[in-house]
Amino acid sequence: MTNPDPRPMFIRALDQTQHLIDTVGPDEFTKPTPCPEYDVRTLLGHLLSVAHRINLALTGGDPLTIPKVTDSPDIAGTWKEHRTALDATLTDDSILALICKLPFGTLPGAAAIAAYTGELTTHSWDLAKATGRLDQLDDELAEHVLTLVRQFLPAEPRGGDIPFGPVVPVADDASPYDRLAGWQGRTP
């Protein structure tokens, strides 16, 4: 059995992230997020870097040349520029087998896309939580990512090379995003 193409879920994660970016106002930039090192503006800058990094990785470049946070006076405009480039890159089927250098290792393009689907989905929750937009999140996307992260992100050990806090216990019947956040070491 072959692995399914990760691009459709990645595009859903990109769409969700873009929607949230488009709805955040400057008056919300200083709000704290579940990521202790980021306020909303810094998280938005990190999302810009994420979009740029994955596109660079999928086109054979070195994503480590992109800072962890991109500062831009036009966050939505810069996101759309990165998104346009990324959408064009995603049309090339050969990216699925391309070996990509990533900040956390070297993976085939399909695995890189799946990993970045998780990053975007988790950071979308962070942004939605900080700005009171949890009702705008795609639960099916969270369920998909939760299955992946439980498979590839061990419950232990955490810290050091594993940049996630300890798993935060949540009820089995909690929302998909609460379960995802808990597994990622965030308090829902």
Query: What pLDDT score was predicted for residue 154?
Result: 78
Residue positions counted in the chain: 188
Contact status, residue 118 vs residue 148, Cβ threshold 8 Å: yes
Which residues lie across from 106 on neighbouring strands? 101
- What mean pLDDT do residues 45-54 have? 97
Q: Given a cut of 50, is residue 70 above it in pLDDT?
A: yes
Query: What pLDDT score was predicted for residue 1?
Result: 40
Q: Given a cut of 70, is residue 161 above it in pLDDT?
A: no
Q: Given a cut of 80, is residue 45 above it in pLDDT?
A: yes
Mean of all residue pLDDT scores within the chain: 93
Query: What pLDDT score was predicted for residue 166?
Result: 84
Report the alpha-carbon distance of residue 89 to residue 116 in Å, rounded: 15
CATH placement of domain 7-183: 1.20.120.450
**Residue 111: C-alpha distances to residues 26, 40, 44, 71, 132 (Å):** 35, 28, 24, 28, 31
Query: What pLDDT score was predicted for residue 162?
Result: 63
- What mean pLDDT do residues 22-40 have? 95
Query: What pLDDT score was predicted for residue 48?
Result: 98
Contacts for 88 with CB less than 8 Å, ≥ 6 apart = none
80-84, 102-106, 131-135: which has the minimum mean pLDDT? 102-106
Residue 146, Cβ neighbours under 10 Å: how many? 21
The residue with tokens 């072959």 is 2
Please tell me whether residue 117 adopts helix, strand or coil conformation.
helix
- What mean pLDDT do residues 56-64 have? 94
Q: Given a cut of 70, is residue 186 above it in pLDDT?
A: yes
Residue 125, Cβ neighbours under 10 Å: how many? 29
Report the alpha-carbon distance of residue 153 to residue 115 in Å, rounded: 10
Query: What pLDDT score was predicted for residue 92?
Result: 97
| Model confidence pTM above 0.85 | yes
Show me where the domains of the chain are located: 7-183
pLDDT in tens, 85-127: 999 999 999 999 999 988 878 999 999 999 999 999 999 999 9
Q: Given a cut of 80, is residue 159 above it in pLDDT?
A: no
Nearest CA-CA partner of 82 in 123, 116, 40, 50:
50
